[in-house]
A and B are shown apart, each in its own frame.
Chain A
Amino acid sequence: MYKNKSIIITTILFVLLASFVFVGNSVLAQDRLILATTTSTENSGLLDELIPPFEEKFNTRVDVVSVGTGKAISLAENGDADIILVHARDAENAFVEDGYGVNRRDVMYNDFIILGPPADPAGINGMEDAGEAFVKIAENESDFVSRGDDSGTNKKELSIWSGAGIEPAGSWYIETGQGMGASLNVANEKQAYILADRGTYLAYKADIDLEILVEGDPKLFNPYGIIPVNPAVHTHVNYQMAMAFVGYITSQQGQKIINEYTAYGEVLFNPSAIKPENIK
């Protein structure tokens, strides 16, 4: 008797399992654009405002894969993304020069800030030159947290060190190899200095005990560019939709959404394809 029951139950379970295998793949039919971008862009919430109008207008689906800038570029070089939205100008230029990307456009910018403990052991509070601030941190051997993950933020940090003529090394220089959020937590626990993008800092502000010590240096300027993958190199990419997205994000409509987007009560990105005063 109990054996019959067990056979029935097993059959029911298997039918249930099997039904899961064959449902839910209908979404594949739609046109698809794979956008590789940085974690800071996606975490800011901007894309949730920016993408739905585009999807509706062009009856397509934009799949956002958010990774560090370095990884986003390598995905595009492999042909695993159709378009990238990143922030590391030198790497972007190399990407285009090597023939992987075409038709790069400026989209928007924000800025990096140097955070540190309120006690400020290296005494950099209010300095105007980010390079000089880094020199003081290094001379004082105060703890400094680096992303160390080849992201746009990490590339910017390294360019400031090399600009200041310093090769950071030693027990005070802590490489986490993790994202911005995780690295901010490490810096907070160790009460260390860190270079961060403003958006992520604002998201974490309430939970961490670090303050903005240096800001406003032109070196801390953080421009974002958009680049479709070259269809001559990767024949399968959705180039037409990628160009439509470039058109959209640099249009009045797209730039207006960027200009008006706020989070935590502050403006996070400034449009750069169209000057704010020309946005209608």
Chain B
Amino acid sequence: MEYIIEALKGAFNLIVTLDPEVKTVVGTSLHLSLTSTFIAAVIGTPIGILITKVDFRGKHFLNTILNTLLSLPTVVLGLLVFSFISRRGILGEWGMLFTMRGIIIGQVLLILPIIIALVRNAIHDVDEKMYRTAISLGATGTQQFRLLLSEARYGIIGALVTGFGRVIGEVGVSMMLGGNIKGYTRTITTAIAMETNKGRFSFGMALGIILLTISFIINYIIYYFQSGEIR
């Protein structure tokens, strides 16, 4: 119990004193999660739309694969990417292991299935009648795309938020591909894992509180904008 009280005090101290190490770690985490979410969104959103709107053979199978990938453990994905970007791997020459780039590759692959699947669901929920009406009124491809985006925007934003939440809170990929290097690839979560291992439980817990606070602020902003739009 005393850990929690100590942690709350610790978190408060770390925030008000703007501890330089905490600042670096938080900056790294935000940089990585936002970059990964951005890249995964750019790739995943169009794929999610295409999967729903275009008919092709093996669609059911692809959807099943996609749903399966949602339960991919971060450590397994980390291992897989590790084997590719290690110096012994196919992409070894690029020297991406223990760099930001390495972590981003892993994180993008981690949330790509999540974003695709949630965008797919969001598009699926868009009123079919309205879409058909737009087509019958002669909407061009671009117009159809824009209509879909605007009708499904809450679902799409939800997909991005879920993806962001997954990457900022994950530890397996960052630890394995980043190596928890101080001042470089150390993120909030890998720092928590390390501090716990060192026996500094309250410091680890304090970092956990900071992580949740950041997540809360981001989600609050998004919710604020969403609810502001509701008629």
Query: Is A58 an interface position by the 8 A CB rule?
Result: no
**B107 CB, nearest partner CB in chain A, Å:** 13
Give A182 to B198 CA distance when docked, in angstroms.
Answer: 9
Is there contact, CB below 8 Å, between A20 and B30? yes
Expressed in whole angstroms, the Cα–Cα distance for A212 and B195 within the complex equals 24
Could you tell me if A236 and B38 are in contact, using CB atoms closer than 8 angstroms? no
For A80, list chain B residues within 8 Å (CB). 86-87, 97-98
Say if the beta carbon of B181 comes within 8 Å of chain A. yes
- Indicate whether B34 reaches chain A with its CB closer than 8 angstroms: yes
Most-contacted residue by chain B among A18, A24, A207 (CB, 10 A): A24
Known: A2-B231, A20-B30, A63-B181. A25 touches B197 (CB 8 A): no
B35 interface residue (CB < 8 Å to A): yes
CB-contacts of B180-231 with A (<8 A)? 180-182, 184-185, 194, 196-199, 201, 225, 228-229, 231
Taking CB atoms, residues of chain B closer than 8 Å to A148 are: none
Whether the Cβ atoms of B95 and A63 lie closer than 8 Å is: no
Interface size on B, residues (CB 8 A): 37
Q: Does A274 contact B (CB under 8 A)?
A: no
B197 adjacent to A43 (CB under 8 Å): yes
A78-B181 in contact (CB<8A): no
A63-B179 in contact given A5-B229, A6-B229, A20-B35 (Cβ < 8 Å): yes
Evaluate contact between A181 and B198: CB separation under 8 angstroms.
Answer: yes
Tell which of B35, B37, B184, B229 touches A27, judged by Cβ atoms closer than 8 Å. Answer: B184
Whether B87 and A3, one on each chain, are in contact in the complex, defined by CB atoms closer than 8 angstroms, is no
Interface residue A146 (Cβ < 8 Å from any Cβ of B)? no
CB-CB contacts below 8 Å: A203-236 with B:
203-204, 207, 234, 236
Inter-subunit contact B180/A65 (CB<8 Å): yes
- Quick one: which of A2, A25, A34, A65 contacts B229, CB cutoff 8 A? A2
What distance in Å separates the Cβ of B146 from its nearest Cβ neighbour in chain A? 10
Nearest B residue to A34 via CB reads B98
Contact status of A18 and B196, CB under 8 A, knowing A2-B229, A24-B31? no
Query: In the complex, which residues 1-55 of chain B have their Cβ closer than 8 Å to any Cβ of chain A?
Result: 27, 30-31, 34-35, 37-39, 41
A267 close to chain B: CB less than 8 A: no
Q: Mark B90-107, 1 if CB is under 8 A from A, else 0.
A: 001101011110000000
Bound Cα distance from A17 to B95, whole angstroms: 26
**Does A39 count as interface, using CB distance less than 8 angstroms?**
yes
Measured CB to CB, the closest approach of chain A to B98, in angstroms, equals: 6
What's the dominant secondary structure at chain A's contact region? helix
Is A64 among interface residues, defined by CB-CB distance under 8 A? yes
Cα(A207)–Cα(B100), bound, Å: 35
> In the complex, which residue of chain B has the Cβ closest to the Cβ of A6?
B229
Interface size class of A (residues with CB under 8 A): 35 or more
Partner of A78, one of B88, B196, B197: B88
Cα(A101)–Cα(B88), bound, Å: 16
Cα-based distance from A244 to B4 in the complex (angstroms): 45
The answer to whether A79 touches B38 (Cβ under 8 A) is no
- Are the CB atoms of B179 and A65 closer together than 8 Å? yes
Complex interface: chain B residues within 8 A of A64 (CB): 181-182
B180 touches A236 (CB 8 A): no
Query: Most chain-B Cβ atoms within 10 A of its Cβ — which of A5, A20, A39, A64?
Result: A20
Chain B proximity mask over A169-204: 1 for CB below 8 Å, otherwise 0: 000000000011110100000000000000010011
- State how many angstroms separate the Cβ of B63 from the closest Cβ of chain A: 27
Complex Cα distance A64/B178, Å?
11
For A184, the closest partner residue in chain B by CB is: B199
Q: How far is the CB of B130 from chain A (nearest CB, A)?
A: 15
Q: Closest Cβ of chain A: how far from B27's Cβ, in Å?
A: 8
Which residues from chain A contact B41 at a C-beta distance below 8 Å? 17
Distance (Å) between the CB of B36 and the closest chain A CB?
9
What are 18 sample pairs from A and B whose C-beta atoms fall under 8 A apart?
A5-B229, A16-B34, A24-B31, A24-B100, A34-B98, A63-B179, A63-B184, A64-B181, A64-B182, A65-B98, A65-B180, A65-B181, A80-B98, A181-B198, A200-B199, A203-B199, A207-B201, A234-B87
- The chain A residues found within 8 Å of chain B, CB to CB, are 2-3, 5-6, 9-10, 14, 16-18, 20-21, 23-25, 27-28, 34, 39, 43, 48, 61, 63-66, 78-80, 179-182, 184, 200, 203-204, 207, 234, 236
- 4 A-B pairs with the lowest CB-CB distances in the bound complex, closest first: A79-B87, A65-B179, A17-B38, A181-B197
Kindly list 15 other residue pairs between chains A and B, CB separation below 8 angstroms, not including A3-B150, A34-B98, A79-B92. A5-B229, A17-B37, A20-B30, A20-B34, A20-B35, A24-B27, A25-B100, A27-B184, A65-B179, A65-B180, A78-B86, A179-B197, A181-B198, A182-B197, A207-B199
